[in-house]
Chains A and B, each alone.
Chain A
Amino acid sequence: MKLSIVQADAIQELGNIGAAHAATTLSQMLGSTIEMSVPAIRMVDLSQLGQYMGEESAAMVAFELQGDIPHGGYILFYITRESAVRMTNTMLGLTEINRPLSEMDESALLEVGNIMVSAFLDATAELLGFIMLPSPPSLTIDMAHAAMQSLIAQMQEETDEVLLFSTELVCEEYKVDSDIIMMPERSTLIRIIELLEHMMEPVTQPIS
């Protein structure tokens, strides 16, 4: 499946709006400024997934997309292990960087992921008039590729390529680098594109 430039732009704009809301919540939680990247949209062949998601250790809070489409794909809050420690240190008032992640860290990560992804989906749903709700969250702290691969394997619609739609959120002050990554099922992606295209159509005024 290939996206046209207009379609990619529209999805990017949707990502901007979602990520801006997520960034605001992260900014409030950390009490600091958050910089946001332009959303990246990549159609990735499964055999090439390793070029985008490698062996690096990361904390990932994953959610299934639910709502108007029951199994819409997945969305996750991704944060490198080092950034995760710095972030929870900031939230929990700790300073040690070289430490194992505790249950406290895990609940903090789940909470942050939950709040940010909910903010992202609320904002995009409002724009689209299409309900996307996150499932309960699930956390793993492991190799990024292993986690992503597992989510792709359990997608409902069998596919050889996947749309990775990611926005980077960075907090300079605490050196926290995170991403929100959305991986919609093909049918969900088509539905989102239809809704966006519909919104972009010129409004025709009835002639009176």
Chain B
Amino acid sequence: MPDHQPQNGQTAMIGIGEYRVGSFPMMTIGLGSCIGLTMYDPNLRLGAMVHIMLPESAGRMDRPGKYVDTAVPLLVQELVALGCKNRSIIAKIAGGASMFEYFGTNLNIGERNSEKVRILLKEHKIALAAEDVGGKCGRSVTFLPANDGSVTIRRADGTTSSL
């Protein structure tokens, strides 16, 4: 079950490990090594967003949105249940940064997250339309399914870009 939906078209804030499915605006703030993954079906004008933290669930099932290997199948399953076709779903990803240099050298979780998402999307035959990943900066992501699935990214310095 996706986390509860906002009322009256308000923006749903998606915390670490959470996900939402629908046509209302969705947002994740402050992605560092985490990944904001969005999936959008232009035919049904429906979307889903998840805030993923780690690449592997290692068998944990209680928070499927937290791990790449459970989050990707989860979003696909939710959208397919609503009538979406895998081949029409468009995925976009943002995040996967390495915020701290010293700690990042031995354990680049951001990069592992991005790589794992690409592999899983391929396995599920979902097209990855755009990505803004890596680097050293944090990102906030706004996803508007009702606006052709637009994805807007904002950085700490105030610059924005679209995917």
B-contacting 9-mer, from A136-144, A163-171, A184-192: A136-144
Are B138 and A143 neighbours in the complex by a CB distance under 8 Å? yes
- Report which B residues bind A (CB closer than 8 A): 3, 13, 15-18, 29-34, 53-54, 58, 60, 62-63, 66, 97-103, 107, 109-110, 136-140, 154, 156-157
The prevalent SS among residues of B at the interface is loop
Given contacts A150-B99, A150-B100, A154-B103, could you give 11 more A-B pairs where the C-beta distance is less than 8 Å? A47-B16, A50-B13, A137-B102, A138-B100, A138-B102, A142-B32, A143-B32, A146-B31, A146-B137, A150-B110, A160-B63
Q: Given A55-B140, A57-B156, A160-B17, A140–B100 Cβ distance below 8 Å? A: yes
Q: Does A179 contact B (CB under 8 A)?
A: no
Task: Say whether A131 faces chain B, with CB atoms less than 8 Å apart.
Answer: no
B109 touches A153 (CB 8 A): yes
Q: Which B residues are CB-close (under 8 A) to A50?
A: 13, 15, 29-30
B140: chain A residues within 8 A (beta carbon): 55, 143
Q: For residue B32, which residues in chain A have a CB less than 8 angstroms away from its CB?
A: 142-143, 145-150, 153
The residue of chain A having its C-beta at the shortest distance from the C-beta of B102 within the complex is A138
Q: Is the interface of A mostly helix, strand, loop or mixed?
A: mixed
User: In A7-55, which residues have CB < 8 Å from any B CB?
Assistant: 46-50, 53-55
A64 close to B (CB within 8 Å): yes
